[in-house]
Amino acid sequence: TTRTTTASANAPKLTFPIILLLLQVIFIILFALHSDYGHEPKTLTEHELFSKVNTLIIASRHRGSVQYPNGTFDPNIIVISEPHRGINDLYSMFQDIHIMIFIGFGFLMTFLKRYGYSAVGYNFLIAAFVLEWALLIRGYMFDFDFDTKKFPIDVERIIVADFVAAAILISFGALLGKTTPTQLIIMCLIEVVLQSVNEWIGLRRFCAFDIGESMFVHVFGAYFGIAVSIMLYDRALTTNTHVEEKEKPVYHSDLFSMVGTLFLFCFWPSFNAGVAAAGDARLRAVVNTYISISASVLLTYILSSVLGKGKFEMVHIQNATLAGGVAVGTVADKIIRPAGALLVGSLAGSLSTVGFKIILPILKKLKIHDTCGVNNLHGMPGILAAVVGIILASMPNYSLYNDNLARSCFHGVSRTPLQQVGYQAATLGVTLLIAIGGGLITGFILRLPIFNKKDVLTYYDDDTYWDTPADFHYIDRQEKDRLIVLERDVLHA
């Protein structure tokens, strides 16, 4: 099918492929220079184990007079290695997270009637681009070995790259339908760097805990995206009926969107527990998330019904149901008890539903246009997560915050609960600052004429950048027919 529409005449024919090709060439060079494989943890084979035991036996016989205080043995013989995790520990959760990124976020955004190809297609493009770029940026920033001039790539690193992709896809949600693919690539390029800088500050400098990345991914991604959206605002978004009409779902597009929702729901425990410490911390991350996100489903149904006067709205069910996963993220591996998880999830589901029904329209009037409502699913529940983290930090026995402290931290292991409270709050503050500041600057850059700002009449419309099938063009006509029919039905009723 090779139909050309007037809209396609505006399409930037070569900017996109040239920029993306250039970046890919640079990526290949950087990977060639500085990346290498990580290693799987070495498991002792039975042979190695007995070899060590045997050495011990021989040593014990030859040094019969050696004292073993505390029941321990010569530390020279036994090397106790740092726990290091590989495929057997992380791969299953990695794949869950991978599905969240590509299927979960991808299909969640297919709800618009004429923007399904772009939603799932740009999600695919952004995620694949960010995986490569995040591996590089994270490698240089967190893992670079100045001796070998290399950074390693292993299962834990590819999980982290997926986390970065989540942040950028949340920003994309705020902008859905309003950008060109070139603008998206430029945004990825900037946001990955800023997101990583922010996370480096929070984790390495402030030693904040945020196991499910509610601040580093959800708050950052949401407010970065909203800040970009503010810069790209066009008043036609809220005044042009043609544009507004396209910012709606059809029946089956809402069902496609539920594919995304349900995968996100099911795999959220893996997101929050993915990089948690093995053992009880990881179990708590799974259990707390499982319970919290279920609670947000129930409160979403309750509030959607109340606010909709007995009718549920799909946009709530698709989004607010998941807010419990976000809100419990910062403290998912801490001892908040199952009832705490229920409470956090209930608050989050309520907050998010109210956000969609009441706050979203208010923001729209304030010229803050957020297509997917990421403020409601990721922004506010992420701030709630941060607040829960701040409260919990004041309770050292529950928050176990000192597990996160290392020598590299300010005040190291001797930090007091109150100091940790301060650092948790500082992390939220810095996150909001970098996200909003970075987003505004990025939005300014994206407005530059070279990036071919889109014609607002082509918003929410696949046809601008996609070859569309015959029935796509029929939808408009169908719409008109429908209105005529409905009017006639009303007249005859």
Of residues 155-214, which lie at the interface with its own copies (CB under 8 A)? 155, 158, 181
Out of 235, 252, 367, 447, the only residue in the binding site for its own copies (CB under 8 A) is 252
Q: Rule CB under 8 A: which of 108-147 touch its own copies?
A: 110, 113, 116-117, 120-121, 124-125, 128-129, 131-132, 135
- The answer to whether 334 contacts its own copies (rule: CB under 8 A) is no
**Of residues 204 and 337, the one with the C-beta less far from its own copies:** 337
User: In this structure, what token pair is assigned to residue 458?
Assistant: 């082509």
d(CA 115, CA 66): 75
Which pair of tokens denotes residue 322? 């998941």
Among 26, 63, 73, 487, binds its own copies (CB under 8 A): 73
Of 138, 246, 284, 378, the one binding its own copies by CB under 8 A: 284
Nearer to its own copies (CB atom), residue 69 or residue 449: 69
Q: Is the CB of 202 or the CB of 373 nearer to its own copies?
A: 373
Single-letter residue type at 467: D
Contact yes or no for 101/126 (Cβ under 8 A): no
Please give the Cα distance from 48 to 26 (Å, whole number). Answer: 44
What's the min distance (Å) between Cβ of 491 and its own copies? 14
Residues within window 420-479 making contact with its own copies, judged by CB under 8 A: 465-475, 477-479
Length of the chain: 493
Closest approach of its own copies to the CB of residue 416, in Å? 26
Confirm or reject binding of residue 58 to its own copies (CB under 8 A): yes
> Which residue number, 143 or 254, has a Cβ lying nearer to its own copies?
254
For its own copies, which stretch binds (CB under 8 A), given 96-104, 382-390, 412-420, 429-437?
Answer: 96-104
Whether the CB-CB separation of 203 and 153 falls below 8 Å is answered with: no
- Residues 6+ positions from 275 with CB-CB distance below 8 Å: 90, 156, 159, 160, 211
Neighbours of 86 (CB within 10 A): 16
Which residues fall within 8 angstroms of residue 246, CB to CB, at 6 or more apart? 112, 113, 114, 115, 177, 459, 460, 461
Q: Can you tell me which of 171, 179, 196, 270 binds its own copies, judged by CB under 8 A?
A: 270
User: Which residue among 26, 78, 433, 448 contacts its own copies (CB under 8 A)?
Assistant: 78
Closest CA to 176 of 371, 19, 324: 371
Out of 35, 399, 431, 442, the only residue in the binding site for its own copies (CB under 8 A) is 35
Contacts to its own copies from residues 392-431, by CB under 8 A: none
Position 55: which residue type? T
Size of the site for its own copies (CB under 8 A): 154
The residue within the footprint of its own copies, chosen from 200, 301, 398, 441 (CB under 8 A), is 301
Examine residue 21 and tell whether it contacts its own copies (CB under 8 A): yes
Give Cα separations from 185 to 18, 118, 369, 388, 479 (angstroms): 12, 14, 21, 34, 34
Nearest-10 Cα torsion for 230, 233, 237, 238: 60
